[in-house]
């Protein structure tokens, strides 16, 4: 930060030190934007019609998004109060962390994981405890369990994990929940659950009845293609969700977003067919990359993880030069599964890239 960027009023130093939000890089009109895990399909006509018919912009929305909560409650066999809706599941994460953790408290999660977690914890005044991912890029839940202390207030489990695409298995998750204190909030972030095809993966919803300290987060942004309208939901115990409701900025979920979400639930079959197209595209891309010699985790979200390590910046530049806008992290590159043509382009260039990786690089298969 240059001196001229110093705030002129006294802000919390940990807030001033936070990195500004980095949005997935904008794509030139000829490039493919594969940097934010968005859905490449245009909204369905029925969803657009629902949005266009919601015109009472002069009125505040229904504060509790009751109509949408009723639909979700029916779908997941919960009571209406066991459903909470927010302006994206990021908002719900913020609310739950604020409700449970403050200064002196710890929030535990695997790392590398969703980039919003660290700043949401800092904003709450709490401290992040990060447990490194396993060598296979999945969560190390047994190690996370050993890091729970008197000060831990929230544990976040992300399955499939953004950005590595790995899942937590149902067995791993249940073994973890069995040793977590019953008064410690566990958030299972399932932003990509609709893309999961591995039958061993955890699904939080049936576990809600067994674990009174579990909250499951889902979103309309990814599989349902409503990232621009901001709507996500939490399923969990009423008292915990009441805590989140108490920390929420009121009236953030607009009537338009609610109408689009309901229209999307009406079109679930059609939308899940699109999801299927994307998962088939994803699996074909993963098989092709593996055949090229890449050593990458089996993807279970709508994105692929290249653990390129120190070569990350160079490779991201190569991809960008051919019109593929991807998301580099210090440990590797996350690439969303987008238009078919973008995958063809990706496979063509990745075949050259893997041959150029140093021998012994962990993103390269042995032999």
Does 133 bind ligand PLP (CB under 6 A)? Our answer is: no
| Integer Cα distance of 233 and 237 in angstroms | 13
Q: Which of 158, 253, 260, 304 binds ligand PLP (CB under 6 A)?
A: 158
Does 110 bind ligand PLP (CB under 6 A)? Our answer is: no
| Integer Cα distance of 282 and 339 in angstroms | 11
Listed in sequence order, the residues at least 6 apart from 174 whose beta carbon sits closer than 8 Å to its beta carbon are 202, 207
Query: 20 or 366, CB closer to ligand PLP?
Result: 20
Does 95 bind ligand PLP (CB under 6 A)? Our answer is: no
Q: Of 278-317, which residues contact ligand PLP (CB under 6 A)? A: none
65 conformational bin, left if phi > 0, alpha if psi -120 to 50, beta if neither: left
**Residue with smallest beta-carbon separation from ligand PLP:** 88
Does 35 bind ligand PLP (CB under 6 A)? Our answer is: no
Maximum Cα interatomic distance, the chain, rounded to a whole number of Å: 65
Does 219 bind ligand PLP (CB under 6 A)? Our answer is: yes
Q: Which of 34, 90, 229, 241 binds ligand PLP (CB under 6 A)?
A: 90
Neighbours of 271 (CB within 10 A): 22
Q: What is the distance in angstroms between the CA of the first residue and the CA of the last residue of the chain? A: 47
Listed in sequence order, the residues at least 6 apart from 194 whose beta carbon sits closer than 8 Å to its beta carbon are 222, 223, 224, 272, 275
| Peptide bond preceding 163 in cis form (omega within 30 of 0) | yes
**Residue 179: its H or E element:** helix 170-179
| Integer Cα distance of 310 and 248 in angstroms | 40
Query: 231 or 353, CB closer to ligand PLP?
Result: 231
- Binding span for ligand PLP by CB under 6 A among 84-92, 104-112, 252-260, 335-343: 84-92
Does 232 bind ligand PLP (CB under 6 A)? Our answer is: yes
Q: Which of 40, 43, 88, 255 binds ligand PLP (CB under 6 A)?
A: 88
Query: 61 or 301, CB closer to ligand PLP?
Result: 301
- Binding span for ligand PLP by CB under 6 A among 19-27, 86-94, 137-145, 341-349: 86-94
Query: 113 or 311, CB closer to ligand PLP?
Result: 113
Q: What is the contact surface with ligand PLP in residues (CB under 6 A)?
A: 37, 88-90, 114, 158, 162, 189, 191, 219, 221-222, 227, 232
């Amino acid at each position: 930060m240059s001196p001229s960027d110093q705030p002129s009023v006294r802000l919390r130093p940990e807030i001033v030190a936070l990195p500004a939000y980095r949005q997935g890089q904008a794509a030139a009109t000829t490039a493919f934007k594969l940097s934010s895990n968005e859905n490449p399909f245009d909204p369905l006509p029925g969803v657009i019609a629902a949005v266009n018919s919601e015109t009472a912009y002069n009125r505040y929305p229904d504060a509790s998004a009751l109509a949408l909560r009723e639909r979700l409650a029916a779908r997941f066999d919960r009571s209406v109060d066991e459903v909470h809706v927010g302006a994206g599941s990021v908002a719900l994460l913020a609310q739950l962390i604020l409700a449970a953790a403050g200064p002196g408290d710890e929030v535990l999660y695997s790392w590398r994981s969703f980039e919003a977690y660290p700043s949401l914890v800092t904003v709450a005044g709490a401290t992040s405890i990060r447990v490194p991912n396993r060598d296979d890029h999945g969560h190390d839940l047994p190690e996370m369990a050993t890091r729970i202390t008197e000060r831990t207030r929230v544990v976040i489990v992300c399955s499939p994990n953004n950005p590595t695409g790995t899942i937590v298995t149902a067995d791993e998750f249940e073994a973890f929940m069995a040793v977590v204190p019953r008064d410690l909030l566990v958030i299972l972030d399932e932003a990509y659950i609709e893309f999961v095809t591995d039958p061993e993966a955890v699904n939080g919803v049936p576990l809600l009845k067994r674990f009174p300290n579990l909250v499951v987060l889902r979103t309309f942004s990814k599989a349902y293609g409503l990232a621009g309208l901001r709507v996500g939901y939490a399923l969990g115990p009423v008292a915990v969700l009441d805590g989140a409701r108490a920390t929420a900025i009121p009236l953030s979920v607009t009537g338009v977003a609610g109408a689009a979400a309901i229209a999307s639930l009406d079109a679930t079959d059609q939308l899940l067919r699109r999801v299927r197209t994307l998962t088939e595209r994803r699996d074909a891309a993963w098989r092709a990359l593996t055949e090229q010699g890449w050593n990458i985790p089996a993807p279970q979200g709508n994105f692929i993880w290249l653990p390129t390590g120190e070569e990350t910046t160079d490779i991201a530049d190569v991809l960008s030069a051919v019109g593929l806008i991807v998301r580099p992290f210090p440990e590797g590159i996350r690439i969303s599964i987008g238009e078919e043509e973008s995958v063809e382009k990706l496979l063509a260039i990745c075949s050259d890239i893997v041959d150029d990786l140093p021998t012994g690089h962990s993103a390269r298969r042995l032999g």
